[in-house]
Amino acid sequence: MRIPIAAPDIGQDEIEAVIETMKSGWVTQGRKVEEFENSFAQYCGVKYGVAVSSGTAALHIALASLRLKTGDEVITTPLSCVATTNPILYLNAKPVFCDVDPKTLNIDPAQIERRITPKTKAILPVHLFGHPVDVDPLLEIAERHGLPVVEDAAEAHGAKYKGKRVGAFGRISCFSFYADKAITSVEGGMALTNDFQLAERMRLLRSFGMQKQKKFCHPILGYNYKMSDIHAAIGLAQLRKLDKYILRKRKNIRYLKEKIDNSNLTLPGEQRYAFNVYYVCHVLAEKRKSKIVKYLERNGIETRPLLSFIPEQPPYRRYGYNASECRIARDAHQKGFYVSNSPLLSTKELDYLASTLNGASSEVK
């Protein structure tokens, strides 16, 4: 048996949506993109959506719309996909890393305030692996210091904090629709905001800085980050399935927790304030992680490292970060890995995954 990390659920609905769009005679950014923007923004409880070509592009236009400049600082997590922080570097600003909460692996609000300096211009939390950040204390700090919050919700479609969907808390929030996400448009992303002026500026930025009403008039420097109607059509078909996917993912984790009896392995949990959508099944191994991962791979279970400990990535080393300041994140990265939590996993596959994880520690002694 082989269990890959991700297997997108592309079926007849998505195929028909693409065919319909192809037959319409309009395949680039158009009415389908606008429909996807409106539908996804409404789902998250936000007024405006700006669809783009990737989650990274969404973060880039979000931060650019806040007019970050050279030398500005953005407080964020050290434990994420490097796509979270690369847009900060694109704008010649500097990421300032804040350690994570050991229970959720999300940025720890209790440590944010002491990272704030006169150069701080934004806070960029990540709802890692679908578990919401503890939002209230983070927003209190941001409001006290007059700082905008940009939510990276790339892995958290449908997740909730105290009953409210993530993406509705920050000045801007950003999502990814890459093929391994909860829903996919194959490639794509979206920035959400309740601020009309920010939405308009992000629309300018995604399309060469060109005004919609005046073709080839470029009041600002922009990018080519547009989404096509074909991708949006797939995204709309997927959006209709999102709540079903979330229920299945939550059921998978409950099932695995009942089946796995291995004191060396810690599976993801859920804080009282959270509705976790369990983007993947991430695991922390107290001992022998590398041997456990090799054992899983030999037995057909694909794994991935626990994303990146970003301060140690080569483009970030020039800033001279002190890794000991983010000890919890670094320790989690060294101990952690993840396996699939696809909504398509069968009971037979879940049983195989559980039995292999149970057997991993004893086999690698």
Neighbour-count burial of 34, counting CB atoms closer than 10 A to its CB (0-12 exposed, 13-18 middle, 19+ buried): middle
Question: Which residue blocks in 156-241 are alpha helix, DSSP H?
Answer: 196-206, 229-239
Residue of 181, 212, 289, 291 marked active site: 181
Instruction: Give SS3 for 9.
Output: coil
Q: How far apart are CA 303 and CA 5, in angstroms?
A: 7
Q: How far apart are CA 155 and CA 132, in angstroms?
A: 10
**For residue 174, what are the β-bridge partners?**
152, 191
CA 220 to chain centre: 28
Q: Order the strands of the 48-52 sheet from edge to edge.
A: 48-52, 189-193, 172-176, 150-152
Question: Which residue blocks in 146-241 are alpha helix, DSSP H?
Answer: 196-206, 229-239
Catalytic site includes residue 251: no
Q: 274: Cβ–Cβ under 8 A, 6 or more apart, which residues?
A: 104, 131, 132, 159, 160, 161
Tokens encoding 222: 């922009």
Q: Label residues 291-317 b or e (16+ Cβ within 10 Å = b).
A: ebbebbeebebebbebbbbbbeeeebe
Q: How far apart are CA 270 and CA 54, in angstroms?
A: 28
Which residues are catalytic, by number? 181
